[in-house]
Structure 1
């Protein structure tokens, strides 16, 4: 990477750190002529354009510089237990087209990935684009993922996927960078970047049919050594009995407070959606069950609070968005169990996202990769397209 090269200049523009020539020169220390050269490279690659609006400054107002959102498009796929959301995004992560499909995880990776590819080709055609416009592919999976290898590792609900080379399969159709991560890590990334970018430490808990968590430490998503960080759903919780979990162990948090476990105890339905529907109908047994689940979940969240000392804890997933019952139970236990220093400025909130957090997270992940200064500089230096065939 060229120090403060075109890639770095684009990063400043994209993040809003510097939006004019003079601001770029001030932040980087580059001369105005060198800034001009960097910008000429970005203009030639159609990565930026000059806004019609002036940006106020101490001197003469200047035209603002902006990322060209249509310089390429991103594929973003959020695979869920019951539903898979598939989207095509521009470089500002605006959704150009999306679709929700019921895809059975049990059909195996080849069938499911080929179905996703078919849907994507339809979407891209409907938008009026060619497949060559695709700059990168982001995929979220409801399973532990070895981030570097891009493969499901260990037990998960995705039976038959362990060790399968997902990236190799997708590259038959999509010769672009393909990034694969655990779905909760992508929810964590989206939450942090969209709503809490000023916070350096964030803990995210997904309470749906299963339970998972993700963490931002010192401003970056932390996946652990092999991508298994944050798997609190399968940590043992003492004092509440030891029902068998889907993973085969006894007394996991998920077996006590996950959506499938609540449905089991209520004797109706099989997942978080069924439980949420009963809660919305005002079913007193379901509400009581969710409140208890909040207190049980609070035991794990309190431990994480003492361990990580986050600025904010965000609750997501279907069970978290049914009302305040889950939030109240978690808050009660966290503030009881954690030391005052860890909770003095702590906020515990429910996500502001509705249904597209996973899509946003996959979008952030792949955009960060394809627009990274090092990758862009390497390609622009040899006169290549910033995206095409950028493996």
Structure 2
């Protein structure tokens, strides 16, 4: 994942903190101290001291000399994405993934573990803590380099408090202080969000960095959507934006959904629902559906294509309303071949306005299994690499060294 070009716009004129100057290097372009002085308007002496502070903290690095036009060549400095590390944790109903990443979301090491759907939050996060400590140790004892933890949960999240709200797949988790509990093990900023939002963020930052308007659809037991509009993740007033699974589909008026309503998209196109439609029984064998779809089984392909059409019938309205340039589709049944994607394209291109689809790309996720932890790391990176957060980090380091500290807000 490469840094966003927008980062250079973050620093505010009149500030000369190291955290502000650091923002001018987050685009990944090497610059000399003189170039940074010209960009920021700060005194060269200020640039010299702040760059040294950032280099000592491992946030920037010397990348060699600039081309000289005579005289001693100037040294160039650039953002050092491997100088510190982040943890991304994606919690699922039965499987949790823990990944150690650098500051731009590149995975250094990852591990996953299974747990029953009835596992409580303390059990899951205690195991996640142990796995994270193993990753930090196995990559050169990088525990002192950890500066943030991002966590994705499978359902609504009260993001400001770091607490889940009625997770349908994890009974007993409602209101649990996830951020507070995890920060006991890792005393760094801990941010929590809905997993679909983080998948959208991870996919966009990794594979579509120049795309400012993207919809990310995940089709698993439910159907969810992450919305990135004008370059920003859209969560809605209470964090429930993008819940496609409970939008009504006319074809399913007699299909009872787990939410108690009839005709929800999830009841027709969720992976278990498609698997049940194939077998005609109450049992949902999603793994078998995927195998049959990959083999080109006619009945499976037909069922998957219809699921795609149902998703497309809801998505077409979203395309008309939000005008994305990219729609990314992910989830188990998307791995069963191209039938779902074909069904989505068939309906979206037919029912959305020509202007909305003229340059629209509908594609399969390119980071199918790691996109959630990449997004979790990306979310926390935005927080811990902000100007004030950098200042606080440097101040804490000075405090550890016994030096006087003064940080302005």
Please report the TM-score for the alignment, with normalisation by the length of structure 2.
0.86
Shift of 1:384: 4.4
Partner residue, 2:349: 335
Q: Structure 1 residues 62, 184: closer, same or farther in 2, change over 3 A?
A: farther
The separation in 2 between residues aligned to 1:336 and 1:385, in whole angstroms, is 62
Shift of 1:70: 4.2
210, 213, 227: which one aligns with 2:225: 213
1:18, 1:27 within 8 Å by CA — same for their partners in 2? no
Partner residue, 1:376: 390
Alignment coverage as a number of residue pairs: 385
Q: Secondary structure at the match of 1:87?
A: strand
1:289 aligns with 2:303: yes
1:189, 1:364 within 8 Å by CA — same for their partners in 2? yes
The separation in 1 between residues aligned to 2:16 and 2:219, in whole angstroms, is 42
Q: Structure 1 residues 247, 198: closer, same or farther in 2, change over 3 A?
A: same
The separation in 2 between residues aligned to 1:97 and 1:123, in whole angstroms, is 7
Shift of 1:279: 1.0
Shift of 1:374: 1.8
Partner residue, 1:389: none
Q: Which runs of 5+ in 2 are unaligned?
A: 1-11, 402-409
The separation in 1 between residues aligned to 2:37 and 2:147, in whole angstroms, is 29
Q: Structure 1 residues 19, 226: closer, same or farther in 2, change over 3 A?
A: farther
Q: Structure 1 residues 11, 57: closer, same or farther in 2, change over 3 A?
A: farther
Q: Which runs of 5+ in 1 are unaligned?
A: 387-391
Deviation track 1:212-260 (CA, whole Å, cap 9, x = no partner) reads: 1011111111111111111111222223333222333322111110101
Where in structure 2 are the equivalents of 1:78-97 lying within 5 Å? 78-97=90-109
Shift of 1:4: 5.0
Q: Secondary structure at the match of 1:215?
A: strand
Structure 1 residue runs of 4 or more that deviate by more than 6 Å after TM superposition: 56-61
Shift of 1:62: 5.1
CA RMSD of aligned residues (A): 2.5
40, 44, 50: which one aligns with 2:56: 44
The separation in 2 between residues aligned to 1:173 and 1:271, in whole angstroms, is 38
The separation in 2 between residues aligned to 1:174 and 1:97, in whole angstroms, is 18
1:105, 1:112 within 8 Å by CA — same for their partners in 2? no
Q: Structure 1 residues 293, 57: closer, same or farther in 2, change over 3 A?
A: farther
Please report the TM-score for the alignment, with normalisation by the length of structure 1.
0.90
Partner residue, 2:316: 302
2:97, 2:110 within 8 Å by CA — same for their partners in 1? yes
2:118, 2:171 within 8 Å by CA — same for their partners in 1? yes
Where in structure 2 are the equivalents of 1:185-264 lying within 5 Å? 185-264=197-276
